Chains A and B, each alone.
Chain A
Amino acid sequence: MLRLEGLEIRQGEFGLSADWALEDGAVCAVMGPSGGGKSTLLATIAGFLAPGAGRVLWDGRDLTPLLPAARPISILFQDNNLFPHLTVERNLALGLDPRGRLDAERRRAIGEVLERVGLDGMGARRPAALSGGQQSRAALARVLLMDRALVLLDEPFAALGPGLRAEMLDLAREVLAGEGRTLLMVSHAPEDAARIASHIVLVDAGVAAAPEAAAPLLADPPPALRVYLGR
């Protein structure tokens, strides 16, 4: 279970606090106005930013002193989720082992996840030879391969068209959340949240509120969310 314990994030004038827990297997959308600190919250959980105070805990274990790669977390960024100079297979291999070694067993495992995300036989391609949607699938395949318990999505599909984005979100929920992983995703689009989220965290006015069940929240939004949604 993810637990943020008295978390305080400071960046110059900007500040954000969070103090809550998220149940395992949740698909949680992080929503709120631009510049509110949604990406900052994810970066802190992932370990790219050190919090000014408080701890990030997973199943009671303190993650705060750990390097990003040592946390039970995988993250997809807005862009640059694949190294453009490496083939898809090599990109995925780095998810299994930072030294990038490939043996028969790993090739088989990579082939399997590529098949699951619909990229069968595309392992030898470089990202530039894939469409935007295929690149997203390859990045999802790596997350799947890394098999970490908590997956952070920092709007990795934002550059895709609405149809493709919905498709990717469905795929993410199906292959990632379907196996008991916890998903925390930044979202700008309420329809995305309505589509796949079980919970919503509202980030506004320097506070990341505790997760609430998505359906009732969207049906009857509190004032801050109402303003954000423009209703």
Chain B
Amino acid sequence: MARWPGGIAAGLVLALTLGTLAAVIWRAGFALRLGPADLSAIWFTTWQAALSACVSVVLAMPVARALARRRFFGRGALVTLLGAPFILPVVVAVIGLIGVFGRGGLLNDALGLAGLGPVSVYGWHGVVLAHVFFNLPLAVRLILQGWIAIPAERFRLAASLGAPVGRLLEGPMLRAVVPGAFAVIFLICLTSFAVALTLGGGPRATTVELAIYQSLRFDFDLGRAAVLAMVQFGLCAAAALMVRTAGAPEALGAGLDRVVERFEPGGQLRDAVAIALATLFLMGPLAMIVARGAPGLFDLPDGVWAAALRSISVALGATVLTLALALALVLRGGGLAQLSMLLPLAASSLVMGTGLFVVLYPLVSPRDVALVVTGWVNAAMALPFAARVLAPAVAQAEAAHGRLATSLGLAGWARLRWLLLPRLRRPLGFAAGLTAALSMGDLGVIALFAGDGEATLPLLMVRLMSAYRMEQAAGVALVLLGLSLALFWIFDRGGRVDAAA
């Protein structure tokens, strides 16, 4: 394949990640000063991410173990559901969590009946709760993958020897898988913005990303934002190294439907409790999104459909960009492409957006390009996931059919058209669905620069929430959820339909 498309894509990604940071520094002048508020944001970001990852992984172990060895009605649906939080818009999930754990939520109603005081969902524990809600399912999937990867013969061998399965097989597997799961979730929680914006805040629950937002939005202090962005880059790069060292587990793969053969009796009750609690914890907020949102559907605010149209346009634009970038980078391969596929994981989307505005400011008004900039930033942020989906599929297509294509002289566009694109339909559809859903639910750059007339659905929700119009916000949440799932489904389906063997 020609290497120039990948070169252009790598250039674009480098410009979007490092270039935008440079632009912010250039505009602000760089001086490494960290005030007390900055230090506390850094401290909070680190320990909440560590705590969230720790809780997620510890709670995930019994659930994964139960799922690995029990076959029950609805197991497939539950495993599918475990993949859902990845494409669930953060602000929508927050509505559900408030419905369960917030004031007037299910938990406080129950506590009130028992005569116990109300608990608040706002603050550091709310941030951790939301992160566990998002990442417990991921942790379960990662660890379940580990369990299922143990060959059935080993369990049979252990059983025939009468050897303890836990110490012989499961312990080593967990020691191999858990650090990777922890590192991935730690990295995800480091970059938290929307959760901190809606549930955190204040001196004791502000993440670095939120601090960047505040310094840009309220103080327009580019210098501080740039310093914080550097810190954020450093933190994420360190975490990314951790992921590499721990051995990044495969999260997006399928094939979780196998059940491990077990020969020792007992443990049914423990497994049932683990599965029931996990299901309740996941389904509760999801059910509340629907329960709270349904009445709100009859009282949707003005402009919801215009916002929906903007969200969909941004999502579709970001999807096209991400697929083009990811495909170009994957086909190019090599160190530069690898770096470009990972860099966005460490970048701050807010700084990315700000850098673009700094560059564009002399030419156009920020409001005029708020949606375009959001689309580009979303495309960059989704790139690592899309590339991760596409890379193995490209390798597989080349391994199976590359020589045939070469012997027939299929090169460049012909190879793309006759070999790669047809073989990549399913992963392309899946990656497109992921990107579209991530972009639909994204709340970041848009919150910084959009005027009244440029709100996307997540931004509209946040505005309603900060005006305490929770019912309307819940209605919009349901609309956003429906549209995100619909986009995901259409793309993913489109990749599967008529995809010949």
Contact = CB atoms under 8 A, between A and B. Distances in A.
B419 to A, nearest CB: 7
B407 A69 contact: yes
Interface stretch (A10-18, A74-82, A217-225): A74-82
B254 interface: no
Interface in B75-94: none
A230 interface: no
Contacts of A69: 406-410
B401 A48 contact: no
A85 B410 contact: no
B427 to A, nearest CB: 14
B407 A75 contact: yes
Contacts of A86: 418, 422
Interface in B371-428: 400-401, 403-404, 406-411, 414, 417-419, 422-423
Given A98-B411, A99-B414, A100-B414, A85 B406 contact: no
A123 B141 CA distance: 44
A135 to B, nearest CB: 12
B501 interface: yes
A67 B410 CA distance: 11
B408 A94 contact: yes
A94 B407 contact: no
A95 B405 CA distance: 10
Nearest to A82: B404
Interface of A: 46, 48, 67-70, 74-75, 77, 80-86, 90, 94-95, 98-100, 126, 128
A81 B404 contact: yes
Nearest to A100: B418
Interface in B250-264: none
Contacts of A80: 400-401, 403-404
A90 B500 CA distance: 14
Contact of B501 (A68, A84, A90): A84
* Top 3 A-B pairs, shortest CB-CB distance: A69-B409, A85-B422, A98-B409
B415 to A, nearest CB: 8
B407 A85 contact: no
Nearest to A48: B403
A83 B401 contact: yes
A95 B409 CA distance: 9
A80 B398 CA distance: 11
Contact of B414 (A70, A81, A98): A98
A80 B501 CA distance: 12
Nearest to B500: A85
B287 to A, nearest CB: 41
14 contacts: A48-B403, A69-B407, A74-B407, A80-B401, A83-B404, A83-B419, A83-B422, A84-B500, A85-B423, A85-B500, A94-B410, A94-B418, A98-B409, A98-B410
A217 B220 CA distance: 88
B466 to A, nearest CB: 51
Contacts of A90: 418
Interface in B452-501: 499-501
B406 A48 contact: yes
A90 B401 CA distance: 15
A83 B403 CA distance: 11
B371 to A, nearest CB: 37
Given A85-B501, A94-B410, A98-B414, 16 more contacts: A46-B407, A67-B406, A68-B406, A68-B407, A69-B406, A69-B408, A74-B407, A77-B403, A83-B401, A83-B418, A85-B499, A86-B422, A90-B418, A94-B418, A98-B408, A100-B418
A148 to B, nearest CB: 10
Interface in B158-172: none
Q: Which of B407, B409, B499 has the most CB of A within 10 A?
A: B407
B409 to A, nearest CB: 3
Contacts of A74: 407
Most buried by A among B400, B422, B500: B500
Contacts of B499: 85
Contacts of A48: 403, 406
Contacts of B423: 85
A227 B409 CA distance: 40
Given A80-B404, A85-B423, A100 B417 contact: yes
A107 to B, nearest CB: 17
Given A84-B501, A128-B500, A77 B404 contact: yes
A80 B403 CA distance: 9
A181 B409 CA distance: 21
Interface string B131-160: 000000000000000000000000000000
